[in-house]
Chains A and B, each alone.
Chain A
């Protein structure tokens, strides 16, 4: 019945919207803005030599919670790909062997996609009200910690756990602690800031439709 129902154009459109798969102009523009925020923030704070103060986290979280669908992958991956080219080719070329960097990149990229998925899991609760900022801020803390644990594990597995560093996993986690506190600080500042802006913007009359649960009985 569900397959028959998506055969009409309008029902196909509803099906794609319900699952966040249609690249509507408005969603695409919002995604581009999130990508720009992630790129500019990452480069600016790295230029100021402020490690772990970045806007990729908030862009990924908002992509998941406000856009959903394929934007969960597109937004964080676009930010990282475009900035990594600048950072690792122009700024710190060849510091680590390329194959190790590529392996580490898998952890970093998947980490931010994971954050985006966490944001998407909260999507039903983000209904373009200001209290949604509180929800997003609250989930940004465990999302940031989860990301840091995941990438620290990757850093140990690909680089620091091997010679010449030869650090234990516990040593890597211990060294990560102050970085994580500053990373959480970054999330506590940027998530409410950008979350408020985007939720207010999307709460306008011409806003995106609220996320609706997929249903086999949809007409």
Chain B
């Protein structure tokens, strides 16, 4: 299990006593994590609508099934679990036309979608880390509004929903996570990785009903709110949904304990399951600086009884509560927080302005529907029944008469209800992700040892072999001496690549600025053709040739940085591979300016390089 490894490594380097202590504390943390996980299932069963649902970090083993069973077992009839396949289309999700019934009746008959069928109960979404933004947005809107407005294919209707969502996040890498839109709205973030499937006895139906009855009456004092909001802020959580959801979780936890007011244990539980997994900052890192006293509420707000005037309280009591909640959150902040944040940042810049999210193109069969047009079905397109009927409808009388006249009257009785001619056919078009063009900018200057250049060539060839399968293209820019040159315009031809790379000479200065300028021009061109560019810069040295081809490190560096800033405005994905024996400060700075992923590969071999590029894409 990858999660267990860091602890194991640490223990081997310590003295036996320290190792034992560390193992004991790790075991205690795991026990708490397990206890919380099962408790979370009970909480969600009590208040599915209020909590929205849960994100399960899981490797999809039996522990996940056990968790889902624990969630389902106390539920009253009509609130069961249903799977939501990640590739579901709008027709099945939101509702559409019942094909058979429509043809039989000769009028449009509505079919309910999954969201309507599962008006109460739980939807289980596997592979939530790969959920499409369109699906996540529909689910997010339904969770927010608690009602769904459908305006599609001749129907306009609104229905209420009371479902909760369980997102199974099976992401392995630290940058693979349930999509943010859903993470944001699902209260409980449960880490099941590495836990055993030994569930404690599940909640009984009676306990569930008792907790549900207790829930509306549970009071939350100002100090509870203060503790949650302060902890959220200390953990660097910007969204206000987090403290709100934490408050609800604390309330449900209190109801499960049979109390009518929130206590510190409830808040700590909420902090562990709602706030800690959302942390972007480790509060212990900034604990030393004293927090400013909370300012008075803004005076311009109208007097309001629902904002109860805070009763005079012992400030130390409030502080104590705040501390205990913050400690609870802190203890559960993932150890790999920094790594995860960096990964999330990478994902953000990658998907941001012009990344994959926006890079779509029309296609015949796959992707999201993108409108309806006249045309024959087949050849990969799908018939849109409703649109076809609509285009046929105005002609029905005329066609009926014609058919009657041709058949001399005797066909009238067995005439089909709707006469559809090939001209009526309407097909749905879909939107598909674009082709990618990977542009390699290879440093061929004297600073590059020849064998590294050879490895770089190898990597390009390996990648291209992979690209060909995906029908993507590759272009190569080489930079050495006075300026960069386009060695290979975008191509899919492996032979051409081999030929151009074989003749690639080495030696001379490093004209980085010129390389970036050329890359930017090429990327803009690629974008205009409707493809998505990715840039991979392979270099081991510092820029020492300025834009005008003259030498001088300072000017060369300034020019390179300016070029990097300009290139960044294209918003494309960039990967900078540093092949120097030791990581170069300038390369790192350059990567930052480019919003690029930076990778130091001193022992660059073709295979590892190709692997890195593939991951970045």
Q: Do A and B associate with each other? A: no
